Structure 1
Amino acid sequence: MSKHTHNGEDEAFSPEPKNIIWTVPNAISFLRILSIPVIAVLISKRYLVWSLIVLAISSASDGVDGYIARKFDQVSRIGQILDPIADRLLIIFSMLALGWAQILPWWLLIAVGSRDVVMLGEVLLLSDRDYGPLPVHFVGKAGTALLLMSVPVLIVADLSGSTFFQVLHLIGVAGAIWGAVLYWCAGLIYIMQGHALLSKDKRRANA
């Protein structure tokens, strides 16, 4: 058990689900992660209809694995890690593919990707001090949701060059920009939370 999970204040940062790996929800999560490169390749090759189909199946599986985990008491530590990893990978790979297909500007991909690099550094730093994942902030959820929703919107918008689809493209880009802004706002919140935990450790060590 982590040394930082013995009081109520710290438990929120390191939940204690079951330490199991081989479950149906985890298998679904692994398959979802494996589908992400497939989606990215389909987008980059402009097989847009097929990419939408695989994306829809992958997105549906996200809700299914969570339902099964709660319904059959199969919530696991690795499962709680796999879900956010899958979301991050889907965002990065999809936007990389959209950039490669010249559907989305590259600067937006860089803005989103750099935030995840920063967050990875913080996660590793906290993990080195036996902290689990930080609690997900609603700003981060909103940013992730906007980014995830903008992906299918941008794919659909590229199916045609008519005025309607051009407007749809602008909506998708606007959603991605706002998602990136919220994504970074949440990142700053997580940085402050991590700094507070590390400062608390330092005070304990000096006490």
Structure 2
Amino acid sequence: MSQPGPAHAPIVVSRRIWTVPNVISFIRLLGVPLFLYLLLGPKHDVSAVIVLTIGGTTDWVDGYAARRLGQVSRLGELLDPFADRLYILATLIGFTLREVVPWWLTAALLLRELVLGVGLLVLRRYSYGPPAVHYVGKTGTFVLLAAFPLVLLSQALPDSESWLGPVGWGLMWWALGLYWAAAVFYWIQTLGLVRAERRAERQRTDDPGPGAPTGPAAVTG
């Protein structure tokens, strides 16, 4: 008869700053201004694609290193999604200015960020932090960061536009759908927490506790 295996140890979140995963995230952040310079300055599109591809495809590296090395930190939990959003925002701005993508696509993605921002404000009002990253949103981010280089490369290399363009735009539409689906999931989670908090508040109001005065004895005058 086999014995049950040991339970998995809980992940300890530290407050350390200088960890290997955080250094990887900082390096990823340095790629953002370099990408914008290459895209909008000398317009070296192929070099910009290389920087964007490295920054996008290494999205999973910092998280993997944190879990593998046991270096999960609060700063790392904030840096990882921040780096993703910064890459997406920088790419949208650069692509819109270069007319690589239409303005309505930029508006649709930015509106999604605004919807999430409102949700964060609601959670903060009830003393909750940001919700955990949903795998649908994480997948959408990965697909979007994969679509951006393909779309840009299809324009930088005209010979590949006939097949690379459709692949890039197919991924772009897929990412947009996943992005908004994740926003719906986040709001469902947010509304669930708000309802639970309001129910708790009503219970505290209806049941003030054994020491609180109730009934006629509570009336003074």
Change (3 A) 1:178 1:55: same
CA distance in 1, matches of 2:193, 2:74: 21
Residue by residue, what CA displacement relative to the aligned partner does 1:19-60 show, whole Å, maximum 9, x if unpaired?
A: 222222212212212321321332234211211222233245
Does residue 165 of structure 1 match 2:166? Answer: no
2:74 to 60, 77, 81: 77
2:26 to 27, 30, 52: 30
Residue by residue, what CA displacement relative to the aligned partner does 1:136-186 show, whole Å, maximum 9, x if unpaired?
A: 333223322221110111121112223x31332232123212211221111
Contact in 2 for aligned 1:43/1:94 (Cα 8 Å)? no
One-letter identity of the residue aligned with 1:154: V
- CA-based RMSD: 2.1
Change (3 A) 1:121 1:37: farther
Does residue 146 of structure 1 match 2:140? Answer: no
Deviation at 1:121, TM superposition (A): 2.3
Residue by residue, what CA displacement relative to the aligned partner does 1:68-87 show, whole Å, maximum 9, x if unpaired?
A: 32232111011011111111
Matches within 5 A, 1:50-129: 50-59=47-56, 61-129=58-126
One-letter identity of the residue aligned with 1:32: R
TM-score normalised by L of structure 1: 0.82
Change (3 A) 1:101 1:67: same
CA distance in 1, matches of 2:53, 2:181: 28
Bigger mean CA offset, 93-102 vs 50-59? 50-59
Percent same amino acid among aligned pairs?
37
CA distance in 1, matches of 2:68, 2:126: 33
One-letter identity of the residue aligned with 1:198: V
Contact in 1 for aligned 2:19/2:71 (Cα 8 Å)? yes
CA distance in 2, matches of 1:44, 1:137: 33
User: Which consecutive segments of 4 or more residues in structure 1 shift more than 4 A?
Assistant: none
Matches within 5 A, 1:184-199: 184-199=180-195
Ranked by relative contact order (alpha carbons within 8 Å, sequence separation 6 or more), the top structure is 1
Q: Which has the larger radius of gyration?
A: 2
CA distance in 1, matches of 2:136, 2:35: 26
TM-score normalised by L of structure 2: 0.78
Match of 1:130 in 2: 127
Deviation at 1:130, TM superposition (A): 3.0
Contact in 2 for aligned 1:41/1:97 (Cα 8 Å)? no
Deviation at 1:16, TM superposition (A): 6.1
Does residue 176 of structure 1 match 2:161? Answer: no
CA distance in 1, matches of 2:140, 2:12: 26
1:203 to 199, 212, 215: 199
Structure 1, gaps ≥5 residues long: 1-14
Contact in 2 for aligned 1:104/1:173 (Cα 8 Å)? no
CA distance in 1, matches of 2:146, 2:47: 17
Match of 2:40 in 1: 44
Q: How many residues align?
A: 192
